[in-house]
Amino acid sequence: MSGFALYALRRLGQFVLVVLVGIHIAYAITHATPIDPVEQSIAAVTQYGNTSPEAIALMRVSLRELYGVSGDPLQQYLAFWRRIASADFGPSLSAFPTPVSTLIARALPWTVGLLLTSTLLAWALGNLLGGYAGYHRDNRALKAMAAVAMGLHPVPYYIVAFVLLVVFGYLWPVLPISGGSAMITGVSSGWSHAASIVQHSILPAASLVLLGVGSWFLGMRSLVSNVITEDYVTYAELGGVARRRILHSYVMRNALVPQVTGLAMSLGTIFNGAIITEQVFGYPGVGSLLVSAVYAGDYGLVLGVTTISIIGVSAAVLLIDLAYPLLDPRVQHR
């Protein structure tokens, strides 16, 4: 078997393991805790207004069947997997009778779009600037940037998003602070809709980029300052290779390899951040869906979003892993 096939196979195994472990954690939480999710849902739904006892009893029976918490443990376990395998989490309680899978499919493109743009932007920007900062250690502007990155890096997503919300919502209201796009009534061109989508994504994307850039910047800076002490860099300098060329093709190229691994490893955390950011800015992605599902007591939707998140994030990690040999050809010869 060739090196790449072996590598790909191993990564695929890791992907399957992540999905299995993640879904088992979800299963354990929903089934092994002494609290009955069905009763929780009923309590949440009947909290406001009055529902007749007969209706509640009926609801209990149908919810038990729907959520697969009827029957012995083995049956429950199999029913749980059957639902996940067929991506069928039943109808949503809060948006009855729309199926959970439809709701998620509607929200997913928003999250994927926001995450993809902001993560790639943060990663590219952070690595580029971090590379310069590691190479030109005495540059004042880059030093200041490092200090800012250090201060910003440990702050949680919620705080940054919230501060942006306050600044652009109350102090200097120039950007839309909530929603995914403006409601467009009547005839309008596709362009104005697209422009509105972009405009609405600026703040959430900015808060994600702002936080993401710092850690890539700091990571790249220390990687580059390690790489430039290598003999081959000194040799290239002595050989009169242009400094720009040394930095771009020799130093940053090599320092980028661990940063790709880093990207794969931090995707879960980035996804967590996106959930929060969406909630703060009322962005119509899976994050907002998850939070409103909890408020509405919609068990199927919460479980559906959790499962999709686990599968989605680990699939993205798999993609990065499979692209990794393009950057690091040593993988194929191991």
Q: Which of 12, 78, 116, 294 binds other proteins (CB under 8 A)?
A: 294
Nearer to other proteins, 20 or 198 (CB): 20
Structural contact between residues 313 and 271, judged by C-beta atoms closer than 8 angstroms: yes
Mask for 168-207, x = binds other proteins (CB under 8 A)? -xx-------------------------------------
Output the smallest distance, CB 255 to other proteins, in A.
16
Q: Which of 3, 4, 14, 148 binds other proteins (CB under 8 A)?
A: 14
Output the smallest distance, CB 164 to other proteins, in A.
12
- Of 211, 225, 215, 212, which Cα lies nearest the Cα of 255? 225
281 Cβ neighbours under 8 A, 6+ residues apart: 161, 165, 177, 178, 203, 204, 207
Structural contact between residues 304 and 66, judged by C-beta atoms closer than 8 angstroms: no
Q: Is 46 a residue that touches other proteins (CB under 8 A)?
A: no
Cα first-last separation, the chain: 11
Q: Is 69 a residue that touches other proteins (CB under 8 A)?
A: no
79 Cβ neighbours under 8 A, 6+ residues apart: 68, 71
Nearer to other proteins, 192 or 237 (CB): 237
Q: Is 251 a residue that touches other proteins (CB under 8 A)?
A: no
Q: Is 57 a residue that touches other proteins (CB under 8 A)?
A: no
Output the smallest distance, CB 266 to other proteins, in A.
9
- Nearest-angstrom CA–CA distance, 153 and 142: 16
- Nearest-angstrom CA–CA distance, 27 and 80: 8
Q: Which stretch binds other proteins (CB under 8 A): 86-94, 98-106, 158-166, 248-256?
A: 158-166
Q: Which of 9, 78, 166, 195 binds other proteins (CB under 8 A)?
A: 166
- Nearest-angstrom CA–CA distance, 208 and 272: 11
Task: Using CB atoms within 10 Å of the CB of residue 93, give its burial: 0 to 12 exposed, 13 to 18 middle, 19+ buried.
Answer: buried
**Residue ranges in 202-231 that form contacts with other proteins under rule CB under 8 A:** 225, 229
Nearer to other proteins, 27 or 197 (CB): 27
Residue with tokens 């992605």: 285
Q: Is 21 a residue that touches other proteins (CB under 8 A)?
A: yes
**What tokens were used for 88?**
């069928």
Q: Which of 55, 163, 195, 323 binds other proteins (CB under 8 A)?
A: 163
Output the smallest distance, CB 330 to other proteins, in A.
19
Q: Is 115 a residue that touches other proteins (CB under 8 A)?
A: no
Q: Is 309 a residue that touches other proteins (CB under 8 A)?
A: yes
- Nearest-angstrom CA–CA distance, 123 and 185: 37
